[in-house]
Structure 1
Amino acid sequence: MRPSDSADSDSTRPDPAGPGTVVESGEDYRDAVLSGQRWQGRRFVRCDFTDADLRELTTSGCTFDHCDLTRADFGESVHHSSAFRTCTFDRTMLGDSAWTGCSLLGSVFVDCGLRTITLTDCDLTLVSLSGAVLRGMDLSGLRLREANLTGADLRRANLRQADLTGARLTETKLTDADLRGARLDAPALAAADMSGTRVDVDTAVLFAAAHGLVVS
């Protein structure tokens, strides 16, 4: 069965886990053409969307658990309050997609073009972005708790007010990034390349402590 086109409702947003939600489990959507559709309150579990055409897809209140999105085309798609939990984005095309109030908890991104996507009020807790090119992106206010940012390129990125508690920043490039108001751990600061990074006083004290300095 393929997901069908359905109109959005402005008055209600179905709970993806609530009564009446149709759960599609283990379905094969490889190479499916699903572009331009509008999905609301749908739930997909361990479904395979490899090479699927999802361009200009709109989702609202949908849930994707353990789904494979390898090489899927999400170009110009729009997502509101949807959850993509423990999903695989491997060489997924995400150009000009917009994500608002979404959860990407525990998902893995490999060789995805991320610099043209828009993330607003999203939860990226435990997300793997190892080696990702995020240069110049606006990631302000995002939750990146315990995210794997090892070797990521965050030069000139806006991370103001972002929550990076427990994030892995080994060899992460933060040159000229804006970390003012961000929440970080001292060990992470010691591991990252922070040449020219803009920080507030609290972060500066943490950075000094991480390098063995005593601020008095």
Structure 2
Amino acid sequence: AIHGDAYGRHVAETQPQKFAAMEAQYETDSSVGLKLLAFPTSVESLTDPRAENLFVVELPFLASILASGGDPGATITGLNDVPTEDPPVAIVFWAFRAMVGLGMWFILLAFWGGFRWYQGTLFEDDLLAKALVGSSVLGILTVELGWIVTEVGRQPWVIQDVLKTHAGVSPGLTGAEALVTLAGFVGVYAALLGLYTYVIARSIRNEAPTKPPTPERERDAPDSVGVIPSDD
């Protein structure tokens, strides 16, 4: 939360078009609310996420507070007043919401697990176990969504107000060289993913019980910290 607050303030100061795209704020205004939840009402609203095209649950003043570091009446520069050429809005707006939504889900999982641990039933909650396993890949997705917000939201700039994307292309780099580099990255990470999948699957096979539980096995099995209970 502290990092998010500092980052929001930094983006509003240095990349106003990105902050405006994250909130689909087209008009410069003060006391702006944060769109906590936004749902498209038509296909058009997916590509043009203006407030009038969405069903929105908004927290009053919060966008102004986030942008200014505490001032609920702060002014936020709208996209219509940002001197950029057709900044990408829809992908940044929806990626930001998906990223924040997944972050809230992870916080919920943490509280859920903490509550079960406090109750002493952490390892007995099958639904929590399934939710954790099902959410294992969502961390990677959240990182990618954050990358989309960061890199797409900065367009058309590589360095804000200094260097545009089209001017940042190296004239000495051929298409073939770029393709080989990209293929190398894909190959390395695909190999790492395959190795990770193999190790996880092997661990599951080795640890999975091969016989149904019985009172005797449960009594003689190691407890949660690996200590075999004594008969004393």
Please tell me the TM-score bracket, short chain as reference. under 0.3
Which structure has the greater CA radius of gyration?
2
TM-score (norm 1): 0.22
Could you say which structure has the higher strand fraction?
A: 1
Q: Which has the higher contact order (CA 8 A, sep 6+)?
A: 2
Could you say which structure has the higher helix fraction?
A: 2
